Structure 1
């Protein structure tokens, strides 16, 4: 692992970006492992918590569309707020799904906790990607 990081730094001359990418990949793997454990452990053995993976994919789509569309004058601040609202809706839904499934008795409490922990790690990874590897000059929500 150390040799890989050293070769990234020496050959590509983008040491901090390469290290950030490796750390984000590790964090994403840990988060997905927690979600898979919530589904696959013998005491749980239900695959309902894996539906949060759809929310992981859908949560970044409004932000990516808005970032691509910011160059045109067609989209204003209200569309930025709409994309933030939709993104937050997907994030809240991914935390709410395991709680609702546990309250209905479909999954057990341990599976719900593992899924929520996986959600935290995956969303921190996505946030880290947008923060470190995909910077932009725009401000969201009219805040400077």
Structure 2
């Protein structure tokens, strides 16, 4: 039952993050949909971790080259997702208010992804692999 509550909580926080993103695009004073390109980063963020967990042999090891490379790529993806709205705002492609909403969206969605891996990545009887 605790896993179902975690799944509902994660989906609720993901919906809040997507609401911030859509507000940054669709509010009347902003009115441009360029910030939706951040969705690409939201989709590809967990892929390196999924690949490294699939290829990793030693789960109990504190240092694994494959896992460290996946953390490096994931960090680059997250930093790029936070940098893209700032670059768009500095080039006057979007307004700074929209940039703030997209940054809030990034924070909520990436914390949701982190929560997913913390809740479902332990490898116990209730893991994401059974879904």
Q: Please indicate, yes or no, whether the TM-score normalized by the shorter chain is above 0.5.
A: yes
* Gapped regions of structure 1 (runs ≥ 5): 1-14, 138-144
The equivalent of 1:10 in structure 2 is none
| Larger Rg over CA atoms | 1
Q: What whole-Å deviation, never above 9, does each CA across 1:57-111 have from its counterpart, x for those lacking one?
A: 1111110000111138xxx822221111000000000000000100111100110
1:84 paired with 2:74, answer no
Give the aligned partner of residue 127 of structure 2: none
**Distance (whole Å) between structure 2 residues aligned to residue 131 and residue 71 of structure 1:** 19
1:132 corresponds to 2:119: yes
TM-score, normalized by length of structure 2? Answer: 0.87
Structure 2 counterpart of 1:99: 86
Alignment partners' CA distance in 2, 1:67 and 1:116: 28
Paired residue secondary structure (1:135): coil
Q: What are structure 2's unaligned runs of at least 5 residues?
A: 125-131
Structure 1 segments of 4 or more deviating over 3 A? none
d(CA) in 2 for partners of 1:49 and 1:55?
A: 11
| Separation (CA, whole Å) in 2 of partners of 1:33 and 1:68 | 32
8 A contact 2:34–2:94 mirrored in 1: yes
Identify which of 6, 21, 26 aligns with 1:35: 21
Aligned length: 120
Q: What is the deviation of 1:17?
A: 0.5
**Worse overlay, 128-137 or 107-116:** 128-137
Q: What CA RMSD, in Å, does the superposition of the two structures yield over aligned residues?
A: 1.6
How many Å separate the matches in 2 of 1:107 and 1:136? 42
Shift of 1:136: 4.3
Distance 1:46 1:134 in 2: 37
**Match of 1:17, SS?**
helix
